[in-house]
A = this chain, B = another copy of it.
Amino acid sequence: MDQSLTSFIDIAADSDFTLHNLPYGIFSETPEGLRRVGVALGDWVIDLTVLEQHQLLDLPIATQYFSQSSLNAFIAAGATTWSGVRRALQYLFSSERSVLQQDKALLKQVLLPRSALYLHLPIEVAGYTDFYSSKEHATNVGSMFRDPKHALLANWSELPVGYNGRASSVVVSGTDIVRPSGQIKLVDQQRPIFSASKKLDFELETAFIVAKNTQLGQPVPIDQAWEHIFGMVLLNDWSARDIQQWEYVPLGPFNAKTFASAISPWVVTLEALEPFRTAGPVQDPEPLDYLKEDHRHNSFDINLSVKLLPAGGDQADVICQTNFKHMYWSMAQQLTHHTIAGCNLQVGDLMGSGTISGATVDAYGSLLELTWNNSKPLQLSNGQSRGFIEDGDSIIMQAYAEKDGIRVGFGEVRNQVLAAIDFNFPVK
């Protein structure tokens, strides 16, 4: 890793988007304007379509990876292509001999001010799977909803528990979240009522993006699993706890989570994250053979935080700080387990980590855990308190990795909650 990699572009010391990062996203210059692929660099976005047209990215002639409304085509091009573009960009923006250093007109065409652009969902989400791989989170939820003495179910320690999510409702940061309505069951009533959710919650997660199509009936061996991952995003897996509690037995969460799952707009590549590889937890019991992996390098040291910006406020409070490295099951184990019975994967599959909770109360990754199901409301700096999320509140999740003076950040996923729809049912 070349720590001296600096750009002739002005990049703030604490920027998430350094020359070591180079995350990919989809942008347009007007809300309905042409969508295309860009890379975030400092306060700028590199318009890759211009560099592709000028054949400055070390790609074969006449590729069309970047005149696209999603990253899927570029992702499908494979690791050699990703690395080539990364090297080309690092050269273009650091070398004194770079054509961009010399041709200011071209540079102006290539670099667009990030704050003036519109960011869109970076991938066409083929399938969305959500895992449940934080031991602390699974223990907390099991304690609250099932049996504190046997909070962790027997299968949890043997396999990365996961379920199919709803791909159509994956949205990008910035999308407003309409408070969901549905059936909720109050303890003092025999039948459920129809109501806006009273327990709207966030879930702090990351997600990885699948890079290769695989065939039905052909599992991915664990020692090849990392090659199937393109990069990572932040994920807020919005959840309605009251809808969830009534509906989820026996087939799992459905309407409690299908109203929105929000991701950050910039996909941080696994290549950019390699310097931050670290040990995951020692797994006990030792996993079955198909899940066996050297734990010393199967996680990443990524700092995560959640802020709550209350309705009408201008001061966001940090309500959670934790780290990705606590996750019990690795991304490779998740991916391999997903395919072991024969399920095929697709370029653009999004796979959520599950809520990431640390061991201490200030590291819990959901309000359900932070307020212990509203029994210990959070005190905000504006004097208000929160058990769950109120209309007008915004949730902001951020993440970064930092080591030896090198910083690779995720930016943020931020959404504001709008009031529920006013239903007017026709009289029968």
Residues on A lying within 8 angstroms of B by beta carbon are: 126-127, 132, 146, 153-155, 158-159, 161-169, 171, 175, 178, 180-183, 185, 191-194, 197, 216-219, 221, 223, 240, 243, 246-256, 258-260, 285, 288-290, 292, 337-338, 340-346, 349, 421, 423, 425-426, 428
Contact = CB atoms under 8 A, between A and B. Distances in A.
Contacts of A292: 425, 428
20 contacts: A126-B168, A146-B250, A153-B250, A154-B185, A155-B185, A155-B249, A161-B254, A162-B251, A162-B254, A163-B163, A169-B342, A181-B219, A217-B421, A221-B426, A248-B251, A251-B253, A252-B253, A259-B342, A259-B343, A289-B428
| A-B complex: 9 closest residue pairs judged by Cβ atoms | A252-B252, A259-B342, A180-B341, A178-B217, A258-B343, A255-B341, A163-B251, A164-B164, A289-B425
A423 to B, nearest CB: 7
A74 B260 CA distance: 28
Contact of A181 (B192, B253, B341): B341
Contacts of A259: 216-217, 341-343
A392 to B, nearest CB: 16
A168 B344 contact: yes
A294 B188 CA distance: 30
Contacts of A343: 166, 168-169, 255, 258-259
A158 B183 contact: yes
A181 B240 CA distance: 34
Contacts of A285: 191
A182 B159 CA distance: 10
A138 B182 CA distance: 22
Contact of A164 (B132, B165, B218): B165
Contact of A168 (B132, B181, B249, B346): B346
Contacts of A164: 163-166, 252, 254, 258
A132 to B, nearest CB: 6
Nearest to A425: B289
A119 B344 CA distance: 21
Nearest to A292: B428
B255 A252 contact: no
Contacts of A423: 290
A342 B420 CA distance: 10
Contacts of A165: 164
A428 to B, nearest CB: 6
A137 to B, nearest CB: 12
Contact of A290 (B166, B194, B337): B194
Contacts of A255: 337-338, 340-341, 343
Given A153-B249, A219-B421, A127 B159 contact: no
Nearest to A258: B343
Contacts of A249: 153, 155, 250
Contacts of A221: 426
A234 B84 CA distance: 47
Nearest to A164: B164
Nearest to A159: B183
Contact of A155 (B162, B217, B219, B247): B247
Given A158-B192, A163-B252, A250-B153, A340 B182 contact: yes
A194 B243 CA distance: 35
A255 B155 CA distance: 13
Contacts of A338: 255, 258
A293 to B, nearest CB: 9
A39 B207 CA distance: 42
A158 B290 contact: no
Counting chain B CB atoms within 10 Å of each CB, the highest count among A183, A240, A342 belongs to A342
A250 B248 contact: yes
Nearest to A428: B292
B192 A341 contact: no
A183 B424 CA distance: 48
